[in-house]
Amino acid sequence: MDLKEQFHLQQFAKGDKKSFVYLHERYQSKVYYYCLKFVGNREVAEEITSDVFVKLWQKREELRDDITVSGLLFKITRDYALSYLRQVARNADLKKAFIESYFNALNNPVEEQIYLKEGMAIAKRAIDTLPPKCRQVFRLRYLDGLSLSQIAEELHISTNTVQNHLQKGTRIVRGYLQEHSDLVFSILLIQMW
């Protein structure tokens, strides 16, 4: 951190609005693009960026000398972005709008198809990593659309065993997706299961 930023940070902690403007101008675009990587939507990224700087203002008196402004801003941004993505995942209407805006942001039908195809290939590889019985239950439930009782009947196992296989499979698939695809697409696929 340079001396000018250190000075403004000290003044900001005391409530100096000019120092806040300095920090906002210095970090606003970095926060915005960092957020955009998470949410994939310009309007949402702009809104979250504004919220991040409001939160920074609210926490100004809590700032310590051992914390960098950029580190704090990126932590707040990540927390807000993940909170937004969790909210999207829980709300069907938001999820649909998010998926549409995410693919619209690609602005290219060919790119969209390639991206979707790559994502589905990653999902298939994730399912292929499951143990055989778990994979069979997972496919019957999510690809064939069978109910728990139908799967139990077909495989001659209890519904509790079906649920255990599904929980294990979901955990493994989520982990695989988080490691092998970008955050936004992982969240979209994870929410399908």
How many other CB atoms sit within 10 Å of the CB of residue 107? 8
Give the lowest-confidence range in 49-53, 112-116, 140-144, 166-170: 112-116
Q: For residue 24, what pLDDT is reported?
A: 92
Q: For residue 36, what pLDDT is reported?
A: 84
Mean pLDDT calculated for residue range 124-138: 91
Question: Which residue has better confidence, 103 or 19?
Answer: 19
pLDDT, tens only, 141-153: 887 888 999 999 9
Sort residue 130 into left (φ over 0), alpha (ψ -120 to 50) or beta.
Answer: beta
Q: For residue 104, what pLDDT is reported?
A: 58
pLDDT at 192 over 60: no
Which CATH code of 3.10.20.30, 3.90.1150.10, 1.10.150.110, 1.10.1740.10 fits the domain covering 3-92? 1.10.1740.10
Mean pLDDT calculated for residue range 163-170: 93
Please state, in angstroms and rounded to a whole number, the distance separating the CA atoms of residues 103 and 96: 11
Q: For residue 136, what pLDDT is reported?
A: 94
Mean pLDDT of the chain: 80
Mean pLDDT calculated for residue range 74-102: 75
Sort residue 15 into left (φ over 0), alpha (ψ -120 to 50) or beta.
Answer: left
Question: Which residue has better confidence, 164 or 192?
Answer: 164
Which CATH code of 3.40.50.20, 3.30.540.10, 1.10.10.10, 1.10.510.10 fits the domain covering 106-192? 1.10.10.10
Please state, in angstroms and rounded to a whole number, the distance separating the CA atoms of residues 142 and 137: 9
Q: For residue 53, what pLDDT is reported?
A: 94
pLDDT, tens only, 8-52: 888 888 888 998 999 999 999 999 988 888 787 788 899 999 999
Mean pLDDT calculated for residue range 106-116: 56
At 95, is the pLDDT very low, low, confident or very high (cuts 50, 70, 90)?
Answer: low
Every domain of the chain and the residues it spans: 3-92, 106-192
At 61, is the pLDDT very low, low, confident or very high (cuts 50, 70, 90)?
Answer: confident
